Each structure stands twice: as C-alpha cells, then as structure tokens.
Amino acid sequence: MPTSFITVQQHILEEQRRFPGSSGEFSSLLSGITMATKMIQDKVRRAGLSDILGEYGETNVQGERQQKLDVFANHALIHFLGLRERVGVLASEENEQPVIVHQGSEDANYAIVFDPLDGSSNIDVNVSVGTTFSILRRPDGVTLHEPDQWVLQPGSKQIAAGYVVYGSSTILVYSVGNGVHGFTLDPSLGAYMLSHPSMKMPKQGPYYSVNEAYRESFPEPYRDYLDRLRSGALGQPYASRYIGSMVADFHRTLLKGGVFLYPPTHENPDGKLRLLYEANPIAFLAEQAGGIAIDGKRRVLDIEPESIHQRTPIIVGSQVELTDFGRLIG
Ligand code: AHG
Ligand code: MN
Ligand code: MN
C-alpha cells in the first residue's frame, strides 16, 4: 500500500504485530493523543476567528502566565487520555500534581506525561506551536497512591514518545522504540496519514538553533561552541534558525540535521526546558533517529528525575555537532 494510505492507527497495529513483545495497548493510548491533538489543531487553525487568543488570567506552576490555548489543550488531553482504561496517571506542565484516573483499576498500568501546548509565546503571532508526550509503564510495586513514582523515571524507561507540530501542516511524530515515524494530518479526511516513514536525522546539518540573545550568560564551553560553529571549525558554514517553540525547532533539526540547544543561563541555571515532558520525549526521538541528546555532560535519557517539573539544559541534534560539543567539554 502506498505510504500515503497508511493511518497512524494502522501503523501502530502493524508495529504491534511485528513485535509481539510490544504491548497491544498502544493503539488505544495513541488514539487518545490523536483525538485530543485534532481538537487542539482545530482551535489553533481558527485562532483568530474564535475567542481563544490571549491570556487565560492565571499563572501555572512554573510561574508562567497561562494562555487560553494552554488551558484548552490541557483539558483536551486530560479528557481523551482519561477515557483510556489503561491509563492510571497523567502529568502535565499545566498541573502542579499528577492527575490520577481509573482509581482502583488493576488494568491501569500507564502514565502519560505531556506539555499540552509548547511555544505559548508564539500562539498569538501565528507561529508554529506543538504538543509533546511521553508514555511510561507503572513501575513494579508502585500503587495509585504514589502517582509521582509512576512518572519519576529516567527517560530511558519511556516506552513511547512523540509530538505534534501545529505548523504549516499538522504533523504527528512518534516512536515506540523502533524508529521514528511522521504522519501528516489530512484535513479532508481528518486522519493522520504516514508521510515520513523511518525518519533519520542527517549526520550533520546546516543550522544551529539557540536563543543567542542570552549568549553572554551561557557558561564558557557553550560560548566557545557557538564560536566554533560560526568559524567553520566543523568543516562548513552554519546558518541560524530559532523559532522559540522547542517542538518546532526540534522538528526542523530532525529533518535537516544540525543542533538545537537551550543552555544554562544566569536566570535559569538548569536551563529552561522541563525534563519529563519536553527534554525526554525529544531525546528519545533524537536517539531513535540516529541523533544524540545530552544535558551538557550526560545523556538526557539517563537523568534520574527528582521532581515532576524539574528543568534541564539540553543539546540535541546530529552526530557531528554533538560529538564536537562532547570534545569541547572533555
Ligand atoms: P512553553 O510554551 O511550553 O512554556 O515552552 C516554551 C519553551 C520552549 O518551547 C522554547 O524552546 C523556549 O520556551 C523558548 O524560550 P526563550 O524565549 O527563553 O528562548
Ligand atoms: Mn513547552
Ligand atoms: Mn507548554
């Protein structure tokens, strides 16, 4: 069958058939993600026409002003994922504490952690935003009374991860640990159709992506690294690209190669991005596509989380760029 006729649901069923060890529950979990993100993308597409732009009027746990779309996206994901019987715990950027669903059900064995709307500052100006998610299995012996323990696991324990970018088209990219696959939403069918099978990040790319306005507050190795990229030390000139929505900046990096970084700064000594629902899914996908993701020293996926909303610096991208950074820090 031509690539363009395979839906994401057919694809995940096929993956499950090919890998009998993989659990048959993914398609149900994924359908919660696809339903919610189709609703979110509908709101994003009609943003200027309905009363959805602007601030909601409250501040989230990160101390950030919530946008109306942040709140809508969060409700949509909690609603549709909460309907899935296999889901026990949901944790979101927009909720201080994890949400427990299906209280008392023995079958509820999965936790899903997500950033409902990534790139909030871009919502009102018609620039790409997205959703990121990470799926974890309940660790042995942990009960529903300990929801934090469901999600405080290193990224290497993710059993699936992905994102949706609401950009010039809507694209869903996911991995269950068997490569990375992209599906473009066909607006006339209302279905995510396979458009990017087995995505591989190029070994080296044309762009570096960082908020260079903070350059003077980056630690020295990061400043040296930017100098190297700009000076041609990696054997080619670089151009820069920075959208300010991590998910969109990463999507470009996945397709074109290069490096995206959010280093420590004076204001945010641990970086800005959140480990569990921003850095981990991106790192999982990067590795699955042949790239590398580190926090400056260690592999992102090896970090043992201590709190749900903890932050981490991140440098993610192609082999050549990441290997060069690794040499710089020794
Ligand atoms: P969110 O909208 O979920 O709070 O995330 C915004 C993040 C991320 O998407 C982006 O990479 C980063 O903020 C941009 O931060 P700066 O404006 O400091 O560059
Ligand atoms: Mn975000
Ligand atoms: Mn967000």
Ligand 1 centroid vs 211 CA: distance in angstroms?
A: 10
Euclidean distance between CA atoms 310 and 262, whole angstroms? 14
Euclidean distance between CA atoms 30 and 134, whole angstroms? 11
The Cα-based distances of 25 to 28, 139, 176, 280 in angstroms read 6, 17, 12, 21
Euclidean distance between CA atoms 305 and 157, whole angstroms? 12
**Exposed/middle/buried for residue 241 (C-beta within 10 Å: 0-12, 13-18, 19+):** middle
For helices 246-256 and 280-288, the axis angle rounded to 10 degrees is 10
Q: Which residue among 272, 277, 315 is best mutated to probe the pocket of ligand 1, counting the most ligand atoms within 8 A of its Cβ? A: 272
Ligand 1 centroid vs 215 CA: distance in angstroms?
A: 16
Structure token pair of residue 132: 């990121």
Q: Which residue among 44, 115, 118, 250 is best mutated to probe the pocket of ligand 1, counting the most ligand atoms within 8 A of its Cβ? A: 118
Q: Is the CB of 67 under 6 A from ligand 1?
A: no
Strand 87-92 and strand 110-118: the pairing is parallel
Q: Are 220 and 328 in contact (CB under 8 A)?
A: no
Ligand 1 centroid vs 316 CA: distance in angstroms?
A: 15
Euclidean distance between CA atoms 87 and 144, whole angstroms? 11
Q: Is the CB of 246 under 6 A from ligand 1?
A: yes
The pLDDT of residue 54 is 82
Domains annotated on the chain, with CATH: 3-198 (3.30.540.10), 207-329 (3.40.190.80)
Q: Are 44 and 129 in contact (CB under 8 A)?
A: yes
Sheet strand arrangement including 110-118: 99-100, 87-92, 110-118, 129-137, 160-166, 170-175, 181-186, 191-196
Residue 306 DSSP symbol: S
Q: How many CA atoms lie within 13 A of 229 on its CB side?
A: 27
- Point out the ligand nearest to the CA of residue 70: 3
Structure token pair of residue 118: 């990534």
Q: Is the CB of 88 under 6 A from ligand 1?
A: no
The pLDDT of residue 132 is 98
Q: Is the CB of 217 under 6 A from ligand 1?
A: no
The pLDDT of residue 106 is 77
Q: Is the CB of 272 under 6 A from ligand 1?
A: yes
Q: Which residue among 55, 120, 252 is best mutated to probe the pocket of ligand 1, counting the most ligand atoms within 8 A of its Cβ? A: 120
Strands (E), the chain: 55-59, 65-67, 87-92, 99-100, 110-118, 129-137, 160-166, 170-175, 181-186, 191-196, 207-209, 239-240, 259-262, 292-294, 314-317
Structure token pair of residue 6: 């395979």
Q: Is the CB of 324 under 6 A from ligand 1?
A: no
If you take atom 14 of ligand 1, which residue's CA is the nearest one? 244
Position 61, amino acid:
V
Q: Is the CB of 120 under 6 A from ligand 1?
A: yes
The pLDDT of residue 301 is 98
Q: Is the CB of 122 under 6 A from ligand 1?
A: no
The pLDDT of residue 191 is 97
The pLDDT of residue 219 is 97
Which ligand 1 atom minimizes the distance to the CA of 93? 3
What is the gyration radius of the CA atoms in the chain, in angstroms?
A: 19
Which ligand 1 atom minimizes the distance to the CA of 64? 4
Ion ligand 2, residue ranges at CB < 5 A: 115, 118
251-269 burial, b at 16+ Cβ within 10 Å, e below that, comes to bbbbbebbbbbbbbbeeee
Ligand 2 centroid vs 309 CA: distance in angstroms?
A: 11
Q: Are 99 and 79 in contact (CB under 8 A)?
A: no
Within the chain, which residues score under 50 in pLDDT? none
The pLDDT of residue 328 is 86
- Reported pTM: 0.96
- Point out the ligand nearest to the CA of residue 277: 2
Give the residue from 283, 161, 273, 120 showing the smallest Cα distance to 210: 273
